[in-house]
Amino acid sequence: MMRTPPGRPRRNAVRGGVLTLVALAAATPLALGAAAAGDDAGAASAAAAGPPNVAGATLAITTRDAAGGRFAMTAPAVTRGGLVKLVFKNASKTPHEAQLVRLGGRHSAREALAILTAEEPTAIPAWLRVAGGAGSTGPGRTTTTLLNLPPGRYGVLDLGGAGPSPSLTGAIATFRVTPGRRGALRGAAATIVAHDATGATPRNRFTVSGLKLGHNRLRFRNTGREIHHAILFPMLPGRTLGDVQQAFAAQGPPAGPPPVDFAGSAGTAALDADGAEVTDLVLRSPGRYALVCFIANRDGKGRPHFLDGMLKEVVVR
């Protein structure tokens, strides 16, 4: 979902906020090679996955390490839409994610990547819809997500990492979704809902229920008009939400110890307006968490959403 080092929140990028600050905290930066040109690498990786997934039940996506510090992502060339079970397997030695984006017209996944990882505020065009997926997934682990996919052309992006996006070095794929039957998103015991500001409630906000220690099946729903995600960080003893906001909003390198445990973070992929999914979320320690959305508005204006209300303390037992 978006990962941006503390002190430098990207104002428009859908880059998991401080996503793989796990990598930063562990001082194990990703080995990155030269950027691939165009979408040929993504198309090739999709073709390498074998015959099209026409059953419509499961969309299997895998990221693995490749030679020269690069990555390879495989996905089916075609899948039936409607209710889909996305199974994202991380066969790499570093954390990865699978952010789905729906592409309008003749636009490419590479174009979407450039927009969603831009350093400067950039409007997200109408042809690009952020469609959920699998949040940051540890090495050797699998994240399963239920979601409804309308027909169209899609890209799979990996926007995480302590440095440049892994999609620049091979973790990118494209696929096509054919029409299918929508279905109910069942099986969630926990819920996070993202709300935009309204006249009655002049700030963005989260509502939360059912989160527990360990593995959660989480229903994440975006009821607003803007793009949102949900990233959770364990708060360190004695630190407050004010400390968290100050640290994430600071310009330049963070001053002093961080107020959260980056290595214990967990979160979702990003969802566009009126989107929903049921996904895996693992919370590895009890206590207080800071729930954050780092994304800014689609028009590229304004501040990251955590500065406008989407910063909430959640207690996990």
Per-domain boundaries in the chain? 21-178, 190-316
Would you say the C-alpha torsion 201, 202, 203, 204 has a positive or negative sign?
A: positive
- Name the more confident of 191 and 251: 191
Residue 214 CB coordination number (10 Å): 10
Q: What angle do CA 90, 8, 309 make, to 5 degrees?
A: 90
- Report d(CA 119, CA 99) in Å as an integer: 18
Nearest C-alpha neighbor of 176 from the set 156, 204, 203, 201: 156
Burial label for 75, CB within 10 Å (0-12, 13-18, 19+), is buried
Helices and strands (DSSP H and E) totals, the chain: 4, 17
Q: How far apart are CA 74 and CA 96, in angstroms?
A: 13
**String of b and e for 155-179 (b: at least 16 CB within 10 Å)?**
bbbbbbbbbebbbbbbbbbbbebee
Tokens 């959260």 belong to residue: 260
Paired with 60 in beta bridges are: 87
**Residue in 28, 33, 120 with CA at minimum distance from that of residue 72:** 33
Q: Which CATH number fits domain 190-316: 2.60.120, 2.60.40, 3.30.930, 2.20.25?
A: 2.60.40
The pair of structure tokens assigned to 193 is: 């809902």
Q: Minimal CA–CA distance to 289: which of 309, 260, 263?
A: 260
Confidence of residue 15 (pLDDT cuts 50, 70, 90): low
Decide: helix, strand or coil at residue 251: coil
Report residue 165's pLDDT band, with 50, 70 and 90 as the boundaries: very high
| Distance from C-alpha of 279 to C-alpha of 87, rounded to nearest angstrom | 10
At residue 57, does pLDDT exceed 80? no
* pLDDT (0 to 100) of residue 162: 67
- The pLDDT, as a whole number, for residue 34 is 25
Phi and psi angles of residue 169, each rounded to the nearest 5 degrees, phi first: -125, 40
* CATH number attached to the domain at 21-178: 2.60.40.420
What confidence score (pLDDT) does residue 255 get? 75
As given in the structure block, the two tokens for residue 150 are: 């309308």
The tokens of 243 are what?
């400390």
Q: What is the pLDDT of residue 314?
A: 98
Centre a 10 Å sphere on the Cβ of residue 96 and count the other Cβ atoms it contains: 32
Q: Do domains 21-178 and 190-316 have the same CATH topology?
A: yes
| Cα(3)–Cα(119) distance, integer angstroms | 12
Q: Are 229 and 267 in contact (CB under 8 A)?
A: yes
Q: How far apart are CA 21 and CA 24, in angstroms?
A: 5
Kindly report which listed range (56-60, 72-76, 141-145, 302-306) carries the lowest average pLDDT score: 56-60
Collapsing DSSP states into helix, strand and coil, what is residue 246? helix
- With beta carbons less than 8 A apart as the criterion, state whether 233 and 264 touch: yes
Bridge partners, residue 64, by sequence? 72
Q: What is the pLDDT of residues 92-138, one digit of tens each?
A: 999 999 999 999 999 999 999 999 999 888 999 999 999 999 999 99
